[in-house]
Structure 1
Amino acid sequence: MAIIGGVGSIYTRGLWDFAFCRFLVGTSFDNCFMIMFILVLEYVGPKYRSLIGNISIALFYGGGAISLPWLAIWLGDWRRLLWVTCIPLLMIIFIPFTIPESARWLSSRGRTREAIKVLKRFERINGTKIPQDVLDDFIVSSNKQKDSNESLKDGFKSPPIRKMIIYMALTSMGGAVIFDTLVRLTEGLGFNFFITFTLVSATEIPSVILVAFTLDRLGRRNLTLIPVITTGFLILAAASVPKGTARVTLAVLARFMINMMMTAVTQWATEMFPTAVRASGTSLMHVISFAAIIASPFIAFSERLWYTLPFIIVAGIAFSAGVFTLQLPETKGIPMPQTIQDAEKLIQMNMFCRNRSKSDEGLPSEKS
């Protein structure tokens, strides 16, 4: 879909045919990114999830963002730029032969034999052997789920999961709007657009690498809350200084922080959804976030009314997203839920731990 839409865009002549081709490209986005991200997280144990899942984002997404403006300048034509960015997508023809299906998803659908074939393939590649008792437990668990066929609709029927989805959606929407608005405000920061875009894009690599190495130490909630609140303060500071080096510096730092927040949220959401609805659930988060991004051009345009207004709006969104973050369950070091019941237990366990810590605050210490 990305190749068809991308190449088709080159030959468009008007607004509506161009918009249709970009719609085709858009249908490929979650498939190209989130599905692969989910597969990686499902096949890697909790100890290495953050490292393995995020290093590739830092290197390849960050590297692509940095090179894009200079590639555009070098080619000097948007149609040629589309040719260069579409051709590498031909690698997709190798995906069915190299990427295994999710054994977790196959298991959740009761397709136990196919799941075992995938696991046996991993045994051959890794040169390891799955203990027979573990494999037997896996088969029993898969057979129990054979007739469940859980869907995202079932997730919304569960009050704790419904509440989790709403708060995660609000948090994700806030981060997406901040991220996109900062990109749109780049041209008004007082520096050359291409240089400023490169600087703020360059924050992708160190910020995501930092997340990869600290997410399992600080936790998902802290590594979402702290960066988004810091982003709010940095943006307020940027509003109080004139255009130029100082504002660009603060904008770059804000982009660094929001990169951290969005990276943590992406993994956090993936870890909260049960296997049967993980892909559809995370895709829903993206759809809602993209819908929210519709507001970002208007936020950037509000500069015409008052030059500090977009900064104040974005800061307010950042602080609101921080509040929503506090309502979500921590998933650090916890196995990813397989069923809706597992996800409910995860949420209830977090609420129990939180309530217990609050009650313990009022208890006297051992020394006293």
Structure 2
Amino acid sequence: MAWFFDAQQTFISAFTDADPSWHCINKTDWSCTSAVSPCSLPEGSWSWDQPKHASVISEWSLQCSPPALVGLPASSFFMGCLVGGLSLATLADSRLGRKKMLVFTCFTVSITAGLAAVSPNVWVYSALRFICGIGRATVGTSALVLSTELVGKRWRDRVSVIGFVLFTSGFLSLPAIAYFNRGSSWRNIYLWTSIPSFCYIILICFLVNESPRWLFVRGRKNEAIDTLKSIAKSNGYFINTSFSNLHIAEEKWNVDLYSALRILYQKKWAFKRLTTVMIVGFGVGMVYYGMPLNLANLGSNLYLSVTINALVELPSTLIALFLIDRISRIHSILILTAISGITSIACVLLAAGGWKMAMEVVSYFSACTAFTLLLIYSIELFPTSVRNSAISMVRQALVFGGVFAPLLVAEGRKRRFLSFGVFGLVIACCGMFVSSLPETRGRGLTDTMEEEECKEIASSSYMNP
């Protein structure tokens, strides 16, 4: 369920920070009816279509503010995700463990979301969104790792799929919540998402066990055995075997994120791979996180648009799984980023609302599929010794793209090219960098930097005899 609440906080700004529609009080006033925005109109000549407290923009009169200020809350959230991903990356493997890390991050997200509902101004609101982003950065990872380590090998793939389905379900719940909240304050949406999240934390504390694998690795053998017995008992089994002869050496050293980055930096081929895949991730992340926030600029029904975008995430994963065994990683990502870029730019050029919506859906669908393939490709590009840290950096690049997306969305309310157009150019251009990476389809995973380096040298020799 952590993925469910993760999705809600990731995309909640699509409704709370939406630019509300307005109308002229005097329908015969040509100067008012021809205006693109109410900024140049005298006070009293126009009014919001919904109550002023329906959106952050209208409640705090941000309609004429600079795009940097309008997009600040959403950008602060993604910046918090960036900071949290870098600062909290190793705590689940070292001090806190899986369960405590999940409780801590979910608690941070729940409390800051609840406090956002009572924000007095945009600055406090942005600060709370920043802290919420720090907590949200590791929610999905903590939940996935803990759940897969608590089940047997036969259930791990299913648990991973369930996590993704719950993320999509959380995304889908937002338009439903916002629709029933229409005409009411945007603060209610935060309350309706934070209270269930807090209840979920209570359930974790009392019903979820710590990972026995992590306990064993940390040298806490007795606690690990007690956990295994508790899990077995809850499933109707009893463990009577003595573990007195079981000896597992406590892990004394870990390659954490920072030492792994140092290793990657020292190897020229590894640093080139990491830099390149992060550039691609930046472009994909900008569209993946930015497109749902940009739906209000389409001029279509916002509730329907967000629902359709949430629904396309499921088939995008199925398409990614289909492409994995049939088309090379490079060609797949190159084609998908190009399609996403072209269709995003098409949203600027097309006038018909239906066709614009169709192009936006294709663009987002392609970005979602590229998102999944890029993560799989990144796993194959790096050896086991640094793989987790490399993937963490790729995910940070994806989030970094999300940092700029809200600013472009705010600017796109006045000039559409600065949202859809820039999105398209960035993902298409960044996607081209994938052509400089080695192909990994059909190749086995490596465990050490030396083993991967040998493959890199062999590949270079084959390409340049």
Residue 99 to residue 281, structure 1, CA distance change in 2 (3 Å): farther
Contact kept? 1:10, 1:82, Cα under 8 Å:
yes
Which residue, out of 195, 202, 207, partners 1:87?
A: 195
Q: How far, CA to CA, are the matches of 1:203 and 1:123 in structure 2?
A: 36
Q: How far, CA to CA, are the matches of 1:252 and 1:323 in structure 2?
A: 22
| 1:14 alignment partner AA | N
Which residue, out of 142, 146, 151, partners 2:256?
A: 151
* 2:172 pairs with 1:63: no
Q: How far, CA to CA, are the matches of 1:273 and 1:115 in structure 2?
A: 33
Partner of 2:366: 257
Q: How far, CA to CA, are the matches of 1:215 and 1:55 in structure 2?
A: 20
CA deviations on 1:201-231 (whole Å, 9 max, x unpaired) are 2211222243345545556555544322221
Q: How far, CA to CA, are the matches of 2:158 and 2:327 in structure 1?
A: 14
Q: How far, CA to CA, are the matches of 2:311 and 2:191 in structure 1?
A: 24
Which residue, out of 163, 166, 171, partners 2:280?
A: 171
Unaligned 5+ residue runs, structure 2? 1-107, 240-244
* 2:146 pairs with 1:28: no
Partner of 2:78: none
| 1:148 alignment partner AA | W
Residue 122 to residue 162, structure 1, CA distance change in 2 (3 Å): farther
Contact kept? 2:280, 2:433, Cα under 8 Å:
yes
| 2:355 alignment partner AA | A
Write the mapping of 1:21-170 to structure 2, written as runs, cut at 5 A: 21-39=128-146, 52-57=159-164, 59-75=165-181, 76-89=184-197, 90-95=199-204, 97-101=207-211, 103=213, 111=219, 113=221, 117=225, 124=232, 143=249, 146-158=251-263, 159=267, 160-170=269-279
Instruction: Give the deviation of 1:122 after TM superposition.
Output: 11
Instruction: Give the deviation of 1:331 after TM superposition.
Output: 7.6
Partner of 1:348: 453
Q: How far, CA to CA, are the matches of 1:352 and 1:200 in structure 2?
A: 43
Instruction: Give the deviation of 1:181 after TM superposition.
Output: 3.3
CA deviations on 1:226-249 (whole Å, 9 max, x unpaired) are 322221232244343224111110
* 2:302 pairs with 1:193: yes
* 2:350 pairs with 1:245: no
Contact kept? 2:329, 2:377, Cα under 8 Å:
yes
Contact kept? 2:172, 2:307, Cα under 8 Å:
yes
Partner of 1:296: 405
The number of residue pairs the alignment matches comes to 342
Partner of 2:116: 9
RMSD over aligned CA atoms reads: 4.2
Q: How far, CA to CA, are the matches of 2:440 and 2:152 in structure 1?
A: 17
Q: How far, CA to CA, are the matches of 1:68 and 1:11 in structure 2?
A: 20
Question: Greater shift after overlay, 293-302 or 117-126?
Answer: 117-126
CA deviations on 1:154-185 (whole Å, 9 max, x unpaired) are 21222244333322322221111122332243
| 2:160 alignment partner AA | G
Q: How far, CA to CA, are the matches of 2:461 and 2:112 in structure 1?
A: 53
Contact kept? 1:235, 1:311, Cα under 8 Å:
yes
Question: Greater shift after overlay, 109-118 or 295-304?
Answer: 109-118
Instruction: Give the deviation of 1:152 after TM superposition.
Output: 1.9
Question: Greater shift after overlay, 25-34 or 298-307?
Answer: 298-307
* 2:308 pairs with 1:203: no
CA deviations on 1:265-285 (whole Å, 9 max, x unpaired) are 345546666777666654444
Contact kept? 2:343, 2:359, Cα under 8 Å:
yes
Q: How far, CA to CA, are the matches of 2:129 and 2:410 in structure 1?
A: 23
Contact kept? 1:51, 1:212, Cα under 8 Å:
no
Q: How far, CA to CA, are the matches of 1:164 and 1:118 in structure 2?
A: 43
* 2:344 pairs with 1:226: no
Instruction: Give the deviation of 1:70 after TM superposition.
Output: 2.7
Larger % of helix: which? 1
Q: How far, CA to CA, are the matches of 2:327 and 2:455 in structure 1?
A: 16
- Give the number of the structure whose alpha-carbon radius of gyration is greater: 2
Instruction: Tell me the SS of whatever aligns to 1:187.
Output: helix
Contact kept? 2:282, 2:397, Cα under 8 Å:
yes
Instruction: Give the deviation of 1:6 after TM superposition.
Output: 1.5
Residue 330 to residue 29, structure 1, CA distance change in 2 (3 Å): farther
Unaligned 5+ residue runs, structure 1? 130-134, 363-368
Q: How far, CA to CA, are the matches of 1:270 and 1:102 in structure 2?
A: 25
When normalised by structure 1's length, the TM-score is 0.73
Residue 233 to residue 38, structure 1, CA distance change in 2 (3 Å): farther
Q: How far, CA to CA, are the matches of 2:215 and 2:387 in structure 1?
A: 13
When normalised by structure 2's length, the TM-score is 0.60
Instruction: Tell me the SS of whatever aligns to 2:314.
Output: helix
Instruction: Give the deviation of 1:250 after TM superposition.
Output: 1.0
| 2:176 alignment partner AA | W
Partner of 2:432: 323
Residue 301 to residue 72, structure 1, CA distance change in 2 (3 Å): closer
Q: How far, CA to CA, are the matches of 2:369 and 2:457 in structure 1?
A: 28
Partner of 1:365: none
Q: How far, CA to CA, are the matches of 1:330 and 1:115 in structure 2?
A: 40
